[in-house]
Structure 1
Amino acid sequence: MQTFLKGRRVGYWLSEKKMKKLNFQAFADLCRKRGIEVVQLDLSQPLEDHGPLDVIIHKLTDLILEADQNDSQAVLLVQRVQDYIDAHPETIILDPLPAIRTLLDRCKSYQLIHRLESCMRDERICSPPFMVLNTECSPDVLEQIKRQGLSFPFICKTRVAHGTNSHEMAIIFSEEDLKDVKPPCVIQSFINHNAVLYKVFVVGDSYTVVERPSLKNFPAGPADRRAIFFNSHNVSKPESSSDLTSRENVEGVSQPPSDDVIRELSRSLREALGVSLFGIDVIINNQTGQHAVIDINAFPGYEGVPEFFNDLLNHISSVLQSHNPDFPPAGEQPKSLPVEMGVFRALKTGVEWRTRGRLGVLYQPESPLSGIAPAQHELNLLKWTWDGLKSELSSGSENEALRFLHREPPCSCPLC
């Protein structure tokens, strides 16, 4: 047993359905064998009541969506989690709430994918054009579709990337079909991929690629046929077999994804969002052989990943060791930082906490985002953290620096 794991405490919150689907109790048992205490979190109570936590694993997607729709109970529960995170910057969150919100919005996640692709400059990657439809079909909308480079047929999806409705999609073949589309939604050019989808399940540095059925090939360009409405979850089930997933017209390039490309995509998304548990839906363009990312999912089901629990435990071990290699477990933290490491540790903790991992990649030369300028409000946030910590630590007051980290920062974010 790795001695630094003994006495560590991992809290988790998953829906009953998610826990049963994953058989999460087996993971809890595996952790206990390694000396890690696992605590199921009750969000109806303050998280402080559960005692100190080194790591929190969660899938709060339903609650976050409900809170964003002003459900008062969901707002309270999500805020309770956020309050704990703000008060305990040393606790590792799998995964940060701002990153989850990005993944819940297909528009934001697609923008991120295209941004990453521009930075990676890998000709083997080329994801489809997309745009958001906020109004019903009109001449202006049709003109905008052309300007965005979309071509028929295209896929129509809900903007929200979670929940039962998020799997309800349509293949649009003509301008006439657009009348059946109900905004707001996201449309994305359809790429023929020989009816094969590759689901990439990521756990930290590890990933597993699972092949699934997908939509069959369709002729390029407008077609005189009705829109096809379907449920993507049903189409991509391992046992799925229907006319929509027929492979009778397979043509052109038919090959599995490149391991190099998948590894780089996974790493880039991890760094850009600060996430560890996510899925990437990848297809291979049957004309060019290029890889296209068509969706990203927060904390997916990990079906077909036999080593998921081992991968998750290894990742937890890794982040605990890298974040606090010489710190005791939660509940045994010193009241002040050792003087010889105070400046470095406080600044590292403060910057990581304040930026939720979003800015760290900007200062890593090997990062695909290293050349992208951060938003002004992010720079303001970083400067506020840096100046405040520098002021406190210059007087040799580590305790004051730690208290400073718990203060609410000013926010100039245009989204707040």
Structure 2
Amino acid sequence: SAEIGQKKKKKKCVSQKKKKKINLFLRSIDLTQPLAPQGPFDVIVHKLSDVIVEAEHDSQSQQLLSNFQSFVSAHPNTVLLDPLPAMTKLLDRFASYRIMNWRICSPPYLEVHSASDLSSIQHAVMAQGLSFPLICKTRVAHGSFSHEMSLIFSVGCLADIHPPCVLQSFVNHGAILHKVFVVGEKHFCVERPSLKNFPSGPCDRETIFFNSHQVSKPESSSDLTALDEQMPCLPPLSSQAVAALVRELRAQLGMALFGVDVIINIHTHTLTVIDINIFPGYEGVPQFFSALLSHIESVLDKHTSECPRAISSPKTTHTTVGPSAAL
């Protein structure tokens, strides 16, 4: 059976009937064991974000990542979804926000690398043209801690931030978040609850600490998402604008599996990107697995035409899903 594991948790995602129909052979891999004997692999679909993040301070994770990178380097004909360098960028909000800041509409932001004196941070906020309220996010864009955010309403409350972090101007968007899930050439839009509107400009309100994952759950109901009755209607999400955005990001990221958090500015009606997510959970996208399998087949078709001898069998494709995949 095809199994995709998150550490010790495993779940079946593709039925035997479907596997026969699409002519793919799927197997899970064990990163703690030598990879070569577990192959051969034509495609490795993975979410090694846990390993990449932990490798910064954990020797065991460093070794697992090193072994995986060595295997990939030694097997150039194995297709990796997605490339490790591209995924590593999205785990660092400093790096991903620099991407967002290039030819993509996104709010002004400031990288805060260390706990400098408060006056220096205040000066940088003004110099970068940020406006209150500010939303503060952790630098690491993965794991439960990455969902812990705060809303800063005044210069004095900048003392509440915990660097390294990103400060981003908060854009009023009618408490509606559009999550765009990308799977190769296809993308899917899912609407979620989001933070309500706040008056623009500094005020004496205390910092609000919140968990973005809890706020934006499909069934979320919170004071932070409650809108005024006078809220003007927002225009529908432009499918053409989203398609253009996805094309631009795919080209910049060199990735096929990612998510984009999009809002519509209530004042300008501008499509605005506020975050890019590495291999999201695709919750609310029932077509995800068929889209993923379709993308894998198209990747292999292209790879076969470019490298006719690269694929291990003309009829059976060995597709591996890494042990940290969240599908």
In structure 2, what is the equivalent of residue 15 of structure 1? 6
Take 1:43 and 1:215, find their aligned partners in 2: how far apart are those partners?
39
Q: Does 1:327 align with 2:308?
A: yes
The answer to which structure, 1 or 2, has the higher relative contact order (CA under 8 A, 6+ apart) is: 2
Is contact 1:13-1:57 (8 Å) kept?
no
Take 1:63 and 1:30, find their aligned partners in 2: how far apart are those partners?
30
- Kindly tell me: are residues 328 and 64 of structure 1, through their superposed partners in 2, closer, same or farther at Cα, counting changes over 3 Å? same
CA RMSD of aligned residues (A): 2.0
Which residues of 2 match residues 358-397 of structure 1 at below 5 A? none
Is contact 1:13-1:59 (8 Å) kept?
no
- Kindly tell me: are residues 27 and 16 of structure 1, through their superposed partners in 2, closer, same or farther at Cα, counting changes over 3 Å? farther
Is contact 1:235-1:245 (8 Å) kept?
yes
Q: TM-score, normalised by structure 1?
A: 0.71
| Structure 1 unaligned regions, length at least 5 | 1-10, 118-125, 334-416
Choose from 199, 208, 212 the match for 2:179.
199
Deviation at 1:202, TM superposition (A): 0.6
Deviation at 1:169, TM superposition (A): 0.3
Choose from 19, 29, 52 the match for 1:41.
29
Take 1:239 and 1:61, find their aligned partners in 2: how far apart are those partners?
27
In structure 2, what is the equivalent of residue 103 of structure 1? 90
Q: Does 1:67 align with 2:48?
A: no
- Kindly tell me: are residues 198 and 269 of structure 1, through their superposed partners in 2, closer, same or farther at Cα, counting changes over 3 Å? same
Q: Does 1:149 align with 2:137?
A: no
Take 2:265 and 2:188, find their aligned partners in 1: how far apart are those partners?
21
Q: Does 1:130 align with 2:98?
A: no
Q: Does 1:212 align with 2:192?
A: yes
Deviation at 1:205, TM superposition (A): 0.6
Is contact 1:192-1:216 (8 Å) kept?
yes
In structure 1, what is the equivalent of residue 102 of structure 2? 115
- Kindly tell me: are residues 324 and 250 of structure 1, through their superposed partners in 2, closer, same or farther at Cα, counting changes over 3 Å? farther
Cα deviation 1:210-266 (Å, max 9, x = unaligned) = 000000000000011101000000000011111100022553451232111111111
Is contact 2:3-2:10 (8 Å) kept?
no
Deviation at 1:68, TM superposition (A): 2.1
Deviation at 1:102, TM superposition (A): 0.4
Deviation at 1:116, TM superposition (A): 3.3
Letter in 2 for 1:296: I
Is contact 1:13-1:41 (8 Å) kept?
no
Cα deviation 1:114-150 (Å, max 9, x = unaligned) = 1132xxxxxxxx2100111122452222111111110
Cα deviation 1:286-308 (Å, max 9, x = unaligned) = 00000111111111010110100
Cα deviation 1:269-293 (Å, max 9, x = unaligned) = 1121211111100000000000111
Kindly tell me the number of residue pairs found equivalent between the two proteins: 311
- Kindly tell me: are residues 265 and 29 of structure 1, through their superposed partners in 2, closer, same or farther at Cα, counting changes over 3 Å? farther
Is contact 2:257-2:278 (8 Å) kept?
yes
Take 2:310 and 2:16, find their aligned partners in 1: how far apart are those partners?
18
In structure 1, what is the equivalent of residue 323 of structure 2? none
Take 1:264 and 1:27, find their aligned partners in 2: how far apart are those partners?
34
> Higher Cα Rg: structure 1 or 2?
1
Choose from 285, 294, 300 the match for 2:265.
285
Q: TM-score, normalised by structure 2?
A: 0.90
In structure 1, what is the equivalent of residue 73 of structure 2? 86
Is contact 1:157-1:186 (8 Å) kept?
yes
Letter in 1 for 2:193: P
Deviation at 1:84, TM superposition (A): 1.3
Choose from 188, 192, 209 the match for 1:229.
209
DSSP-derived class of the 1:255 partner: coil
- Kindly tell me: are residues 218 and 18 of structure 1, through their superposed partners in 2, closer, same or farther at Cα, counting changes over 3 Å? farther
- Kindly tell me: are residues 194 and 329 of structure 1, through their superposed partners in 2, closer, same or farther at Cα, counting changes over 3 Å? same
DSSP-derived class of the 2:219 partner: coil
**Greater percentage in strand:** 2
- Kindly tell me: are residues 54 and 146 of structure 1, through their superposed partners in 2, closer, same or farther at Cα, counting changes over 3 Å? same
Q: Larger deviation: 221-230 or 131-140?
A: 131-140
Choose from 293, 303, 320 the match for 2:283.
303
- Kindly tell me: are residues 128 and 26 of structure 1, through their superposed partners in 2, closer, same or farther at Cα, counting changes over 3 Å? same
Take 1:140 and 1:15, find their aligned partners in 2: how far apart are those partners?
42
Take 2:156 and 2:8, find their aligned partners in 1: how far apart are those partners?
40
Take 1:209 and 1:222, find their aligned partners in 2: how far apart are those partners?
33
Cα deviation 1:346-366 (Å, max 9, x = unaligned) = xxxxxxxxxxxxxxxxxxxxx
DSSP-derived class of the 2:249 partner: helix
In structure 2, what is the equivalent of residue 169 of structure 1? 149
- Kindly tell me: are residues 28 and 247 of structure 1, through their superposed partners in 2, closer, same or farther at Cα, counting changes over 3 Å? farther
